[in-house]
Chains A and B, each alone.
Chain A
Amino acid sequence: MTTQYFGQRIKRNEDPRLLTGGGTFVDDVTLPDLLHAAVLRSPHAHARVRRVDTAGAEALPGVVAVYTHGDLPPSLQEPLPRLIPHPALVHHKTQYALARDKVRHVGEPVAFVVAASRYVAEDALDLIEVEYDPLPAVVTLEQAVRPGAPLVHEDAGTNVCAHYTQRVGNVDEALARAAHVFTERFVIDRGTAAPMECRGVVAQWDPRLRQLVVWDSTQAPIPIRNGLARLLGLAQGGVRVIAPDIGGGFGPKIMMFYPEEVLVPYAAMQLSRPVKWIEDRRENFAAMNHEREQIHDAAIAVDRDGRILAVRTAFLYDSGAYIPYGLTVPIVASTTLPGPYKIPNYHCEFRAVFTNKTIVSPYRGAGRPHGVFVMERLMDRVAAELGIDRVELRRRNLIQPHEFPYDVGLIYQDNAPLIYDSGNYPATLEAALQKISYEHWPQERARYRAQHRHVGLGVACYVEGSGIGPYEGCRVTVEPSGKVYAATSVGTQGQGHFTSFAQIIADALTVRVEDVIVITGDSGAFGWGTGTFASRAAVVAGSAAHLAAQAVREKTLLVAATKLEARPDDLVLEHGRVSVRGAPGKSMTLAEVAVAANPLRGTIPKEWEQPGLEASRYFAPPRGTFPNGVHAAIVEVDIETGMLKILRYVVVHDCGRVINPMILDGQIRGGVAQGLGGTFYEKLVYDESGQLLTQTFMDYLLPTTMEVPEIEVDHLETPSPLNPLGVKGAGEAGVIPVPALMAQALDDALSELGIRITEMPLSPNRLLEMIREARAQAPSPHPGPLPQGEG
């Protein structure tokens, strides 16, 4: 591949549009005669719905329709589809579009109003009377698995919907003979992705064309199209789903289906008028899927030198009230846990549990932060107990470069064996250590201590699964104008696909990046695909784009060869022009070739196969590819207020070949910001009756410019052998090790107090509580040393 743009810091094609207010987000779609929808949501965590009286709402001027469960057609009265079945998932419960006889979490849709404006629609919500019989709510995981707990789904007879175990080797035996065994419980609480754009759906039905057009803030437009066609009795060709510009996705914008995604199209068809529903922020907190809640009971067995003999975890996974997305998150957590270490014996086992809380589905990281937290915390424990330097301990256990491909012995989320394709873990670790000057840390630390400052350093390693199948496709077309159009169905939520795919294609066709116009997420433009998740778009769709562009390149040479009366081998394609080697003057531009490839008279030669400079290609990786990385940070704690400050943050990351370092760094840094949010600021709080107490940005705290530090990023490039570009995914890397890293750094900062972090997220309140408890247990020699000139 003649590389020109691949690997370069190319400015993004999409920016001029987005910077000038020219983006098209779902809420920007306006249509003549547009109606606006609002959803009445359950105020109860768990209740029987006795009666829904919509008469008052229907009578309100401006209200066009009010729907309850009984008003929907039979196909929408059924529970919504199950996304990813799994043999271990014995109670695969999914939600109704509108609650039937029971509500199971605060925010569950009960009625749907369509009106002349959102204002009137909300007025109408106030006029709907619902009679609820509140039931006892199951709020915590521990509560849910207790015998006699109230049942979220009575017919299941239990709140445990899946119990799944994976094993490598013989853990029990290893635990029994190990020199040291340490056990610990780790608790990770709930968070939410909180993209800046909430969800939204606009639908338009043309009864004459029998064509339904849906703009949806989804990460997976094609599966939505396919599902809608089925549920609404339309041909797939009669449904066009467009995921336009999306204001951040991060996982939860992929779900099949959120109720609104079927209700809005249905109402538009039924009313023959376009309908818009835009989720507001309070709805987003209660109705968009959450993540993160897990409780792990883990154990590690090591020999005298700290070599890992076995790891075991048994955990509870909170799925919320339903489990449409299946077991992806807990499987990813279990399979990420081993990380870069050689673990001869491994046992992971989880129970997925229903609670009366919002549904859980993958949010950036999707179980990976949990796995890494548990593993890295166990490693830190071993280091502390055995008195081995934490880094040295890691060095001793890392998988070595010559051991790839490395079979971990587990089955990954894509049902393929978990095999690390490539990497150089020791190199990544050493690079990070050097960047953070780990060597000098003991002196640095002593210097801080002398100033009565509580500063700590952390280092955390991870391996991340990415770029899984099944497949993605791309169609590349050179139009007679010379512009190159590329269509792929993966949606884009800010990851720069308009640019990175354009770079790949521009290299193949030797055109400028800005002359490649990439269309994403429009089923009308490209109808096959699955979606943007699991850090897979660049890997899978990017490879498809590469294959399609290469095919177009070959076709270009073929057509030009005919026209220029030369052999394809004698042609060179450069700067968008085909010329004959050694025959200056004999050349054609891509535009001219495109015209020639689609003649108005004559015929097209058989070897052209089809007219035009166009090719569609698919890429289906056999299994995922595995980036790895190490983060290191230095943090300071004010032990009198529990406030935290990050003094340095360093990332060394290896995600194979880099398409665009600027975009890649942005992805990594953004992930770190989210990780830091989930470590110290963000936490969804439910009270004991299942009320969600954090439903505003005043209560759910996203980090601002003032809370996040500068993040220094370096890359190593170990190409993946599993795709033609040698790339690996990068979308989630930033977020994954942050909780583990912060925990270790805090332990270090607070080591005199003997504090050990085993939970996430933290807060100043929680930190001070730990400090208080630690002091009560062992009064420190200098309680609350006052820094000089404080305040």
Chain B
Amino acid sequence: MKKRTGVVRRTTKARVVTPRRRNPVRTDAAAPPLVTRKEITVQVNGVAQTAEVEVRMTLVDFIRERLGLTGTHVGCEHGVCGACTILLDGAPVRSCLMFAVQAAGQEIMTVEALGTPDRLHPIQEAFRDHHGLQCGFCTPGFLMTTLAFLRERPSPTADEIRVALAGHLCRCTVYQGIVEAVSDAAARLRAGTPTPAPRARGGARE
């Protein structure tokens, strides 16, 4: 991708998809069928969500458009900005670089499951206290990485925090408040501030 920095859009015709099957296949295994749509069930914020999706639909579009969970944002659709970061089976991934079909049978957590405006999660509290956000567009992504990161490293140094968050772009802040917030959140979590249980909020926001 890096070397190819082509023009905006070309006027080429879309390739018409004609499934082609050569046989005989020289293996015993039967190849699974090719599909363009598929029914999937995904655990989203603790709620099983079943839907039929076009196979090319990205996971972030599924989360935002089909499930109405618009807290996860789209900033680049090529994996760099981190705004779309969610937890997939507990680990932070870019939801713009996965297709919804790939998440079938897996567990997703988005920012909507973290805390509520009245009862912020300690990480969210810390972001607020340290002015770790301005426009708030990048914030949900930072929060999701922070959640996973602090589970793994409950007492990180500032340098470790910086490395862990380097995969997120924020254009408003200089990251200083964010780094301080994560450090403070770690302390709060260690001190055992009761963490609100992740909330089951799978569907459209109430």
B133/A281 in contact, CB under 8 A: no
Please encode chain B, from 68 to 86, with 1 for each CB lying within 8 Å of some chain A CB and 0 for all others: 1111111111101101000
B117: Cβ under 8 A from any A Cβ: yes
In the complex, how many angstroms separate the beta carbon of B118 from the nearest chain A beta carbon? 7
C-alpha gap A23/B72 in the complex (Å): 10
In the complex, what residues of B have CB within 8 A of residue A663's CB?
Answer: 131
C-alpha gap A126/B127 in the complex (Å): 43
Instruction: Given the known inter-chain contacts A15-B133, A245-B135, please indicate yes or no for A20 contacting B71, CB distance below 8 A.
Output: yes
B176/A25 in contact, CB under 8 A: no
In the complex, what residues of A have CB within 8 A of residue B147's CB?
Answer: none
C-alpha gap A706/B179 in the complex (Å): 11
Q: Is the interface of A mostly helix, strand, loop or mixed?
A: loop
In the complex, what residues of A have CB within 8 A of residue B81's CB?
Answer: 196, 281, 697
Instruction: Given the known inter-chain contacts A128-B11, A494-B134, A705-B162, please indicate yes or no for A197 contacting B127, CB distance below 8 A.
Output: no
C-alpha gap A491/B50 in the complex (Å): 39
Instruction: Given the known inter-chain contacts A19-B128, A20-B116, please indicate yes or no for A25 contacting B173, CB distance below 8 A.
Output: no
B117/A20 in contact, CB under 8 A: yes
B205: Cβ under 8 A from any A Cβ: yes
Please provide the chain B residues from 102 to 159 with a CB less than 8 Å away from any CB of chain A in the complex. Answer: 110-112, 114-118, 120, 124, 127-129, 131, 133-140, 143
Please encode chain A, from 279 to 299, with 1 for each CB lying within 8 Å of some chain B CB and 0 for all others: 011110010000000000000
Instruction: Given the known inter-chain contacts A20-B114, A194-B171, A197-B73, please indicate yes or no for A41 contacting B8, CB distance below 8 A.
Output: yes
C-alpha gap A17/B128 in the complex (Å): 11
B75/A196 in contact, CB under 8 A: yes
C-alpha gap A107/B8 in the complex (Å): 6
Q: Give how many A-B residue pairs fall within 8 Å (CB-CB).
A: 224
A30/B65 in contact, CB under 8 A: yes
C-alpha gap A281/B83 in the complex (Å): 12
A693/B5 in contact, CB under 8 A: yes
Please encode chain B, from 166 to 196, with 1 for each CB lying within 8 Å of some chain A CB and 0 for all others: 1111111111111100000000000000000
Instruction: Given the known inter-chain contacts A247-B135, A493-B135, A494-B134, please indicate yes or no for A30 contacting B77, CB distance below 8 A.
Output: no
B13: Cβ under 8 A from any A Cβ: yes
B91: Cβ under 8 A from any A Cβ: no
A495: Cβ under 8 A from any B Cβ: yes
In the complex, what residues of A have CB within 8 A of residue B200's CB?
Answer: none
In the complex, how many angstroms separate the beta carbon of A420 from the nearest chain B beta carbon? 28
Instruction: Given the known inter-chain contacts A127-B13, A696-B78, A708-B175, please indicate yes or no for A19 contacting B135, CB distance below 8 A.
Output: no
B30: Cβ under 8 A from any A Cβ: no
A17/B8 in contact, CB under 8 A: no
> Which of A12, A670, A706, A711 is B163 in contact with, Cβ under 8 Å?
A706
Instruction: Given the known inter-chain contacts A123-B14, A197-B73, A670-B173, please indicate yes or no for A18 contacting B78, CB distance below 8 A.
Output: no
- The chain B residue with its CB closest to the CB of A673 is B174
> Which of B13, B112, B176 is A21 in contact with, Cβ under 8 Å?
B112
B131/A126 in contact, CB under 8 A: no
Please encode chain A, from 482 to 500, with 1 for each CB lying within 8 Å of some chain B CB and 0 for all others: 0000000000011110000
B75/A281 in contact, CB under 8 A: yes
A20/B173 in contact, CB under 8 A: no
Please provide the chain A residues from 685 to 709 with a CB less than 8 Å away from any CB of chain B in the complex. Answer: 691, 693-699, 702, 704-706, 708
B166/A704 in contact, CB under 8 A: yes
In the complex, how many angstroms separate the beta carbon of A699 from the nearest chain B beta carbon? 6
C-alpha gap A697/B96 in the complex (Å): 14
In the complex, how many angstroms separate the beta carbon of A361 from the nearest chain B beta carbon? 18
B97: Cβ under 8 A from any A Cβ: no
Please provide the chain A residues from 361 to 389 with a CB less than 8 Å away from any CB of chain B in the complex. Answer: none
In the complex, how many angstroms separate the beta carbon of B24 from the nearest chain A beta carbon? 35
A390: Cβ under 8 A from any B Cβ: no
A248/B172 in contact, CB under 8 A: yes
> Which of A22, A40, A496, A670 is B117 in contact with, Cβ under 8 Å?
A22
In the complex, what residues of B have CB within 8 A of residue A195's CB?
Answer: 135, 137, 171
For chain A, the count of residues having a C-beta within 8 Å of the partner chain is 78
A698/B136 in contact, CB under 8 A: no
B74/A27 in contact, CB under 8 A: yes
Please encode chain B, from 1 to 21, with 1 for each CB lying within 8 Å of some chain A CB and 0 for all others: 110010111111110000000
Instruction: Given the known inter-chain contacts A22-B205, A196-B171, A696-B78, please indicate yes or no for A705 contacting B73, CB distance below 8 A.
Output: no
> Which of A43, A119, A196, A246 is B10 in contact with, Cβ under 8 Å?
A43
A710: Cβ under 8 A from any B Cβ: yes
In the complex, how many angstroms separate the beta carbon of A218 from the nearest chain B beta carbon? 14
- The chain B residue with its CB closest to the CB of A691 is B7
B128/A11 in contact, CB under 8 A: yes
C-alpha gap A610/B13 in the complex (Å): 65
C-alpha gap A27/B72 in the complex (Å): 11
A673/B175 in contact, CB under 8 A: yes
- The chain B residue with its CB closest to the CB of A246 is B135
> Which of A12, A282, A710 is B176 in contact with, Cβ under 8 Å?
A710
In the complex, how many angstroms separate the beta carbon of A481 from the nearest chain B beta carbon? 18
Kindly state the interface size class of chain B when it binds its partner: 35 or more
B38: Cβ under 8 A from any A Cβ: no
B42: Cβ under 8 A from any A Cβ: no
C-alpha gap A11/B163 in the complex (Å): 27
In the complex, how many angstroms separate the beta carbon of A103 from the nearest chain B beta carbon? 11
Which of B7, B83, B169, B173 has the most A CB atoms < 10 Å from its CB?
Answer: B7
A18/B118 in contact, CB under 8 A: no
A747: Cβ under 8 A from any B Cβ: no
A702/B174 in contact, CB under 8 A: no
In the complex, how many angstroms separate the beta carbon of A147 from the nearest chain B beta carbon? 30
- The chain B residue with its CB closest to the CB of A677 is B171
A42: Cβ under 8 A from any B Cβ: yes
C-alpha gap A708/B65 in the complex (Å): 35
Please provide the chain B residues from 27 to 82 with a CB less than 8 Å away from any CB of chain A in the complex. Answer: 54, 56-57, 64-65, 68-78, 80-81
Please encode chain A, from 107 to 119, with 1 for each CB lying within 8 Å of some chain B CB and 0 for all others: 1000000000001
- The chain B residue with its CB closest to the CB of A52 is B11
B7/A23 in contact, CB under 8 A: no
Instruction: Given the known inter-chain contacts A247-B137, A708-B175, A711-B176, please indicate yes or no for A30 contacting B170, CB distance below 8 A.
Output: no
C-alpha gap A521/B71 in the complex (Å): 21
B165: Cβ under 8 A from any A Cβ: yes
In the complex, how many angstroms separate the beta carbon of A380 from the nearest chain B beta carbon? 25
> Which of B76, B162, B205 is A706 in contact with, Cβ under 8 Å?
B162
In the complex, what residues of A have CB within 8 A of residue B166's CB?
Answer: 704-706
In the complex, what residues of B have CB within 8 A of residue A56's CB?
Answer: 13
A14/B74 in contact, CB under 8 A: no
A718: Cβ under 8 A from any B Cβ: no
C-alpha gap A42/B8 in the complex (Å): 7
B76/A697 in contact, CB under 8 A: yes
A785: Cβ under 8 A from any B Cβ: no
A722: Cβ under 8 A from any B Cβ: no
B71/A22 in contact, CB under 8 A: yes
A12/B128 in contact, CB under 8 A: yes
In the complex, how many angstroms separate the beta carbon of B180 from the nearest chain A beta carbon? 9
C-alpha gap A193/B169 in the complex (Å): 13
Please provide the chain A residues from 17 to 47 with a CB less than 8 Å away from any CB of chain B in the complex. Answer: 17-25, 27-28, 30, 40-43
Please encode chain A, from 187 to 230, with 1 for each CB lying within 8 Å of some chain B CB and 0 for all others: 00000011111100000000000000000000000000000000
11 chain-A/chain-B pairs, Cβ below 8 angstroms: A16-B118, A19-B114, A43-B9, A129-B11, A195-B171, A197-B137, A280-B77, A281-B81, A670-B174, A695-B5, A695-B8
Instruction: Name the 8 nearest CB pairs between A and B, nearest first.
Output: A21-B71, A494-B135, A247-B137, A18-B136, A494-B134, A697-B80, A16-B117, A28-B70
If A17-B117, A710-B176 are given as contacts, then 14 extra A-B residue pairs at C-beta distance below 8 Å, sorted by A number, are A16-B120, A27-B64, A41-B9, A106-B7, A126-B9, A196-B138, A281-B75, A281-B76, A669-B174, A670-B171, A673-B173, A699-B2, A704-B165, A711-B176
Which B residues are closer than 8 A to A by beta carbons?
1-2, 5, 7-14, 54, 56-57, 64-65, 68-78, 80-81, 83, 110-112, 114-118, 120, 124, 127-129, 131, 133-140, 143, 161-163, 165-179, 205
Which A residues are closer than 8 A to B by beta carbons?
11-12, 14-25, 27-28, 30, 40-43, 56, 106-107, 119, 123, 125-130, 193-198, 245-248, 250, 278, 280-283, 286, 493-496, 662-663, 665-667, 669-670, 672-674, 691, 693-699, 702, 704-706, 708, 710-711
